[in-house]
């Protein structure tokens, strides 16, 4: 997606915030890529997902 901005988390369990312009649709797909694939420290999780409407 073009025009997206990412505010990376600075601590464990701190939120990483992704913002982008208004869109219309019926779904949202997130493609997550580990910085350390195959390693324990490369785990990725989504513990909470919010999609506020503005």
**Interval 1-54: pLDDT, tens:** 567 898 988 888 888 888 888 888 888 888 888 889 989 888 888 888 888 776
Query: How far lies 38's CA from each of 11, 25, 42, 47, in Å?
Result: 21, 33, 7, 20
Rounded-to-10 torsion of CA 8, 44, 52, 14: -50
Q: Supply the pLDDT for residue 7.
A: 92
pTM for this predicted structure: 0.58
Say how far apart CA 38 and CA 42 lie, in whole Å. Answer: 7
Radius of gyration of the CA atoms of the chain, in A? 13
């Amino acid at each position: 997606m073009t025009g997206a901005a990412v505010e990376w988390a600075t601590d464990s369990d701190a939120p990483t915030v992704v913002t982008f312009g208004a869109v219309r649709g019926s779904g949202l797909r997130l493609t997550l890529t580990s910085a350390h694939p195959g390693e324990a420290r490369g785990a990725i999780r989504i513990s909470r997902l919010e999609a506020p409407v503005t």
